[in-house]
Structure 1
Amino acid sequence: MQGPFNRNHRRKPMAEINVVPFIDVMLVLLVIFMITAPMLTQGVQVDLPQVSSEPIEALEDNEPILISVDREGNYHLSLGDESSEVTLDEMAQRVMAILQRRPGAPVMLRGDRNVPYGEIVVLMSTLQRSGVANVGLISEPPQDGG
């Protein structure tokens, strides 16, 4: 009896690797990452003012110290992936400690457009007393492209 279930006939070992399960797993992971990536935005929701300006070029691989002021006037200090809400005095102490470890680290300020100008001036004065020589202000380009 000839057929696929012949017991006397030995099958040759298959030298090919089945990659279909691997592709299935990779596609599932791709979908998961595409769904979760927009949820991983870090920082504080800040409505930045819109002005046209040239972007600042990164001089070094130094990660910037990011200070955000939200709509309610709360301060948030971010360094890399770490972000925490701080008071003005805590922020001054932390920035001073970071600058002692990493002198020359750029300091960037994100202020909500609805925060009173006086609060930004107080923040910048506090940063100056903490040893920050230059502060970069973050804004968004205008909607109309001009």
Structure 2
Amino acid sequence: MLSSPLQNGRPGLFRAQADINVTPLVDVMLVLLIIFMVTAPLLATGVKVDLPQAKAAKPLDPKEPVVVAVDRDGHVALGAEQVDRADLVDRVKLKVGDDLAHVVHIRGDKDAAFGQIVSVMDDLAHNGMTHLAIVTDNSRKGFDAGSASSAEAPKNTAPRNSQ
């Protein structure tokens, strides 16, 4: 005869499980981790510019910078948003607030006119934002044309200090 869960007030073969099963929790967390790892690089915002290369540049502080981009046609963007040149200084001041020592990264396309990039830097400097950094690409493919390994160098677009 099979015993019932409660036979004469005593526990039988079947008992309620009092432990928490963590396997489904771990499975869900791993799936979420993979989803976030895949989608995080896709969330990077900004205007696509082809950065020039520099050998003697030093890395900047990893604070959240204000990024101003000048594309090859001379259009100016603050972050991912196109802005008018007349409104650029006011918009940057809104982002920076009272901290005029905040670093402003200038990303200029290598095919953009040098005068346009300097003009943007000059506008910002005349309004008290003197901590400006030019962002460059430090991959070596343009400097060592005779070297086979230079074409295989990984592309790193870390901000570099222009001073």
Q: Same fold (TM over 0.5)?
A: yes
| Corresponding residue SS for 1:101 | coil
Match of 1:101 in 2: 98
2:78 paired with 1:73: no
1:115 CA drift (Å): 0.5
Match of 1:31 in 2: 34
Q: Deviations over 1:95-133 (max 9, x none)?
A: 344555223111221101110112112212212222222
Q: Which runs of 5+ in 1 are unaligned?
A: none
The aligned length equals 136
- Alignment RMSD (CA, Å): 2.3
- Normalised by the size of structure 2, how large is the TM-score? 0.71
CA distance in structure 2 between the aligned counterparts of 1:50 and 1:62, rounded to whole angstroms: 22
CA distance in structure 1 between the aligned counterparts of 2:93 and 2:40, rounded to whole angstroms: 33
CA distance in structure 2 between the aligned counterparts of 1:109 and 1:137, rounded to whole angstroms: 5
Q: Which runs of 5+ in 2 are unaligned?
A: 141-149, 154-163
Residue pairs, 1:1-146, within 5 angstroms: 1-2=1-2, 6-7=3-4, 8=7, 9=12, 11-58=14-61, 63-78=64-79, 83-98=80-95, 101-143=98-140, 144=150
Q: Deviations over 1:21-48 (max 9, x none)?
A: 1022112212321321221111111111
Amino acid at match of 2:77: H
4+ residue runs of structure 1 moved beyond 6 angstroms? none
